[in-house]
Structure 1
Amino acid sequence: MERNELYPIFLKTQQLEILIVGGGFVALEKLSFLLKSSPNSKITMVSPFFRKETIQSIVGYQINLIHDTYSSNYLKDKHIVIATTDEEEVNIQVYKDCKERNILVNVADNPPFCDFYMGGIVTKGNVKVAISTNGKSPTTAKRLRQFFKEVIPENIDDLVKNLNKYRKTIKGNFEEKVEKLNEFTKSLVE
């Protein structure tokens, strides 16, 4: 049986420099996913054109639009790059340039040229659930996202905040605190 060996990680994108290469529908989709989950992301987009919806959607965000064709010069000081052009040779060049510079890269809809995938995300206050299908089925990830959005209660954030307050009152070493919290929260999964 095939196994998903991806390691989930939650990035503080407001501390990272992100580049999206492209200005079409896929670029807008990736931008929207990033901003929905992390509205303080610092994003630069480079493309000869941008959809009208993209230009409208960036108002109030830290987005820099550059009207130009891709050049490796745009990788300077970038941590993450997402290539979304409809020209495969440009996307592959972005990938190669990123690999030379040890920059994490995602070439949209081309799993062999991805260091990471952008999975489905459900956010309720401080609780965030990320869903991955190992790049095999974005539609399944979307359906799972819809499922979790419905089953995770809206007041889950109250529980998180209360448990955080309780955690701060527990005495003992790390192991003892974990044991007390595990005992206290056991009923959540029963």
Structure 2
Amino acid sequence: MKGPYPEIQGGGSLILAWQVRTKRVLVVGGGEVAAGRIVNVLNADAQVTVVSPRSGLNDEVTYRVDQKQVDLIDRKFEPSDLDGVDMVLCAVDDPEASTQVYKLCKERRIPANIADVPPECDFYFGSVHRDGPLQIMVSTNGNGPKLANIVRRQIAANLPYNIGAAVQRVGILRRKLRKVAPAQDEGPKRMQWMSKICEQWTLDELCDMTEEDMEVLLGFYKPGTIPTLDEVRLREPDGAYDGPFLI
């Protein structure tokens, strides 16, 4: 009999937006897979160190090192490389060495991803679509990375062209709103009001919303009303309003 609440499926992963800004990430290896991992964590503003003989770096990783985007430890991995590290990404073609890295990470409780070895991963890298602040990840929980890439491309192809810009403008408005109503008990009202803005305004309107529009729009927060963009722009700089007030 089906219950009143969502059924538990099991076997999945807890998909999170992991904030690694300023965290220390160690990448073991310097080949193609390592290059992809490096891009992922650099995009998240992590502090990245690569441990690998320079002779084993591919062109992209060499470029990252030369541009000082990452630090290089020019030798093979040693256990002391884990000192002070917050995350480890291992991408070497040596199963025995990879397992050693994984075991050391488990002993030190450092989250680790061992490329192409799902049982030795505390987390997986999915296929990600990025459009400004918008990120969409598709994960197959280690079952089919290529299939995840295909699904991600299909999703991206059906997204509105301006969705990333709309998200960016909403983010600016949300930060302004928190300054207008910073109290913790305002949280539910802030969320409801922002939700209504996103539901009632089109993506084009959200993209077109200027900083001046936002300042006027915030004046509608206290009464909890949602004006149209046209109604927002009918307001004069001194606060006069030429259109009908919403209830």
Which range, TM-score by smaller chain? 0.7 to 0.9
User: Does residue 1:5 correspond to 2:5, yes or no?
Assistant: no
Rate the CA distance shift 1:80–1:180 in 2: closer, same or farther, 3 A: same
- C-alpha separation in 1, matches of 2:150 and 2:201: 24
- C-alpha separation in 1, matches of 2:68 and 2:160: 29
Contact 2:129 2:135 in 1 (8 A): yes
- Give the match for residue 112 of structure 1: 119
Contact 1:18 1:81 in 2 (8 A): yes
Amino acid at match of 1:88: P
Of residues 167, 186, 189, the one that matches 2:199 is 186
User: Does residue 1:140 correspond to 2:128, yes or no?
Assistant: no
- Give the match for residue 124 of structure 1: 131
- Please give the root-mean-square deviation of Cα atoms over the aligned residues, in Å: 2.7
- Give the match for residue 27 of structure 1: 34
- C-alpha separation in 2, matches of 1:8 and 1:69: 32
Of residues 177, 186, 189, the one that matches 2:190 is 177
Matches within 5 A, 1:89-108: 89-108=96-115
- C-alpha separation in 2, matches of 1:179 and 1:109: 42
Structure with higher Rg: it is: 2
- Give the match for residue 71 of structure 1: 78
- C-alpha separation in 2, matches of 1:21 and 1:164: 35
- C-alpha separation in 2, matches of 1:112 and 1:28: 22
- C-alpha separation in 1, matches of 2:50 and 2:187: 44
> What is the CA deviation profile of residues 83-113 of structure 1, one whole-angstrom value per residue up to 9, with x for unaligned ones?
1111111100000100111100011000000
- Normalised TM-score (structure 2): 0.66
Rate the CA distance shift 1:162–1:44 in 2: closer, same or farther, 3 A: closer
Q: CA deviation at 1:41?
A: 2.8
* Partner secondary structure for residue 175 of structure 1: helix
Contact 1:106 1:114 in 2 (8 A): yes
User: Does residue 1:41 correspond to 2:54, yes or no?
Assistant: no
> What is the CA deviation profile of residues 54-83 of structure 1, one whole-angstrom value per residue up to 9, with x for unaligned ones?
202444353011121111100011111011
Which structure exhibits the higher relative contact order, with contacts defined as CA atoms closer than 8 Å and separated by 6 or more residues?
1
Q: CA deviation at 1:3?
A: 4.4
- Give the match for residue 14 of structure 1: 21
Q: Which blocks of at least 5 consecutive residues in structure 2 are unaligned?
A: 1-7, 203-247
Contact 1:121 1:131 in 2 (8 A): yes
State the number of aligned residues: 187
- Normalised TM-score (structure 1): 0.83
> What is the CA deviation profile of residues 95-151 of structure 1, one whole-angstrom value per residue up to 9, with x for unaligned ones?
010011110001100000000001111111111112211111101211122223322
- C-alpha separation in 2, matches of 1:123 and 1:69: 33
Q: Which blocks of at least 5 consecutive residues in structure 1 are unaligned?
A: none
Percent identity reads 28
* Partner secondary structure for residue 104 of structure 2: helix
Contact 2:41 2:48 in 1 (8 A): no
- C-alpha separation in 1, matches of 2:159 and 2:68: 28
- C-alpha separation in 2, matches of 1:188 and 1:148: 22
